[in-house]
Amino acid sequence: MTMNNDSLIRLTDVNFAYDQRPILTGINLEIPRGKVVAIMGLSGCGKTTTLRLIGGQVRASSGEVRVDSQVVNDLDSDGLYQLRRRMGMLFQFGALFTDMSVYDNVAFQMREHTDLPEELIHDMVMMKLHAVGLRGAHNLMPSELSGGMARRVALARAIALDPMLIMYDEPFAGLDPISLSIVGELIRKLNDALGISSIVVTHDVQESLKIVDYVYFVAAGKIVAEGTADEIRDSTEPFVHQFIWGEPDGPVNFHYPAMRPYAEEMLSGPGRKQVWW
């Protein structure tokens, strides 16, 4: 992807580790304004950690995380608070407040972070719910929603304060095919209508490739491939090809590496005599 100074986010030579365990190594990526970018890879490869670095929940061990020209690593608590007010987050499975109605879930940020009168908050909440097709469900409780509806309410909450960036952590997890398609279309349409940027962390390859402008593939804490949706579909890189098409054989093995061969392990277990042929 050809980047310029209009990039909203830029990670440069970013390294991150939990204690002595490295999670990300030498990460370089950019998110342009107005685009939808996916970060894909196996579980535990560092995708969600990348979102946490961008949001400032954790700080890079080295390198630079820059969001809207601000270096996140250098911001104090007040600076991070102001920056996060301009971000929306859709958590895996929605993470709605279970004791609040749909209406109050969406209104929560407006009440917490603004001094808007309740009349204006009402109009804004209804606008956000209408955008995701759930204005008529504003009085329902989260327990009364289907999985797809809950995800759409969470999306309405994520856009409540008209953010510059929305980060999606596995937005398609657990959805039926119809709900999955609806949520995917909403991500794309809301991104374009609001002129925001979106980062989608996901395992759902085919649905994501329908809506994204660019893809980064992460493996073992490094970016191993990147490109447009068409470039990723046509990739001959073994890991990417196996991941995209869900093939059982490839560089990603089913078995976790073991110290000894299976037969040797089984024949030399505790209490067993060594067998010789």
Taking only the tens place, the pLDDT of each residue in 27-58 is 999 999 999 999 988 777 778 889 999 998 88
Contacts of 9 (CB under 8 A, 6+ apart): 29, 30, 31, 54, 65, 66, 67, 68, 165, 197, 199
Closest CA to 210 of 228, 195, 198, 194: 228
Distances 7 to 13, 67, 149, 212, 221 between C-alpha atoms, Å: 16, 9, 32, 16, 23
Contacts of 99 (CB under 8 A, 6+ apart): none
Give the lowest-confidence range in 69-78, 253-262, 265-274. Answer: 265-274
**What type of residue sits at position 160?**
A
Radius of gyration of the chain (CA): 22
Do 64 and 71 contact (CB within 8 A), yes or no? yes
Whether the per-residue pLDDT at 5 is higher than 60: the answer is no
Whether the per-residue pLDDT at 2 is higher than 50: the answer is no
Structural fold of domain 7-86+163-267 = Rossmann fold (3.40.50)
Whether the per-residue pLDDT at 66 is higher than 90: the answer is yes
Domain ranges of the chain: 7-86+163-267
Helix axes 177-194, 147-158, angle to 10 degrees: 10
Percent of the chain with pLDDT over 70: 90
Whether the per-residue pLDDT at 268 is higher than 80: the answer is no
Whether the per-residue pLDDT at 107 is higher than 90: the answer is yes
Distances 173 to 185, 204, 232, 248 between C-alpha atoms, Å: 15, 8, 21, 21
| Mean of the per-residue pLDDT values of the chain | 84
Helix axes 147-158, 118-131, angle to 10 degrees: 130
Classify 227 as helix, strand or coil: strand
CA-CA distance, 73 to 163, in Å (whole number)?
A: 21
Partners of residue 217 on adjacent β-strands: 40, 225
Percent of the chain with pLDDT over 90: 30
**274 or 29: whose pLDDT is higher?**
29
- pLDDT at position 109 is 86
Q: Classify residue 196 by burial, with Cβ atoms within 10 Å: 0-12, 13-18, 19+.
A: buried
- At 134, list the tokens: 């759930």
Contacts of 1 (CB under 8 A, 6+ apart): 30, 32, 213, 214, 226, 227, 228
- pLDDT at position 34 is 92
Taking the CA of residue 100 as centre, how many other CA atoms within 13 Å lie in the half-sphere pointing to its CB? 15
Longest dimension (CA), the chain: 85
Whether the per-residue pLDDT at 125 is higher than 90: the answer is yes
Contacts of 35 (CB under 8 A, 6+ apart): 191, 197, 198, 213, 214
First to last CA, the chain: 60
**What type of residue sits at position 182?**
I
Measure the CA angle with vertex 151, ends 145 and 154; round to 5°: 105
**Which residue in this structure is represented by tokens 């660019």?**
214
